[in-house]
A and B are shown apart, each in its own frame.
Chain A
Amino acid sequence: EAQVTQNPRYLITVTGKKLTVTCSQNMNHEYMSWYRQDPGLGLRQIYYSMNVEVTDKGDVPEGYKVSRKEKRNFPLILESPSPNQTSLYFCASSPTVPANYGYTFGSGTRLTVV
């Protein structure tokens, strides 16, 4: 089944403890992106990648890192999480630059930083 898989689905962590949210797609998509969803703010783009080893900042990149060493994987790294990074995170992919035909989204990761 064609899909975008995120792990974990839920995560509670403490301020300052480094964490990684994984994202993997099995569709050979070139383009991948991370979004965060907050009430009243919709989805805001954190980082995106147009292909292996090509990444760029979105609208809210502060406090996040990404890497794209392989086409299928696009992990999101929080080096020193803070409470304002408590949010619902989505990974998305598309065959090429997004998509005349839209993204495929993962199921989301709900992160709580205490």
Chain B
Amino acid sequence: GEDVEQSLFLSVREGDSSVINCTYTDSSSTYLYWYKQEPGAGLQLLTYIFSNMDMKQDQRLTVLLNKKDKHLSLRIADTQTGDSAIYFCAFRSGGYQKVTFGTGTKLQVIP
């Protein structure tokens, strides 16, 4: 099955950029997602990228995909305290009826 790894914790200062990384093993992944989980809440889809893309930008969010290294990253520019949350990468593999989630990275933003 799919193995997905994320670092558990990241701390940044307000106003700096945050980069959350994710590595995966299944090269057939077709859709790749980033979800945000705020305390006491469910997961919320932030953005997604198709496997035939290298980069996607959406306001303060930039997603980079390196298919050769099987590495996905999420960059948050001008990080705010409201960005403090757990961030999950997730993958849908072609032909499979499910999405596999990473372990989650807890982002702490220091004022």
Which A positions have Cβ atoms within 8 angstroms of B?
Answer: 4, 31, 33, 35, 40-45, 48, 50, 56, 58-59, 90, 92, 97-108
Residue-by-residue, is B60-99 near A (CB-CB < 8 Å gives 1, otherwise 0)? 0000000000000000000000000000100010000111
Residue from the list A44, A97, A105 in contact with B44, Cβ < 8 A: A105
Q: Would you give the shortest CB distance from A10 to chain B, in whole angstroms?
A: 11
Question: How many residues of chain B get a CB closer than 8 Å to chain A's CBs?
Answer: 24
Known: A42-B88, A100-B31, A102-B48. A108 touches B101 (CB 8 A): no
Interface of B (DSSP majority class): strand
Residue in A35, A40, A107 whose CB lies within 8 Å of B101 = A35
Report A107 CB to chain B, min CB distance, Å. 5
A102 contacts B98, CB within 8 Å?
A: no
Q: Residues of B at under 8 Å CB distance from A? A: 1, 4, 6, 8, 31, 33, 35, 40-45, 48, 88, 92, 97-104
Complex alpha-carbon distance, A104 and B99, angstroms: 13
- Say yes or no: A56-B45 contact (C-beta < 8 A), given A40-B8, A42-B104: no
Contact among B31, B40, B43, B98 for A58, CB-based, below 8 A: B98
Residues of A within 8 A of B48 (CB): 100-102
**16 A-B pairs (CB sep. < 8 Å):** A33-B98, A40-B103, A42-B101, A43-B88, A44-B101, A92-B42, A99-B99, A100-B48, A102-B35, A102-B45, A102-B99, A103-B43, A105-B43, A106-B42, A107-B41, A108-B41
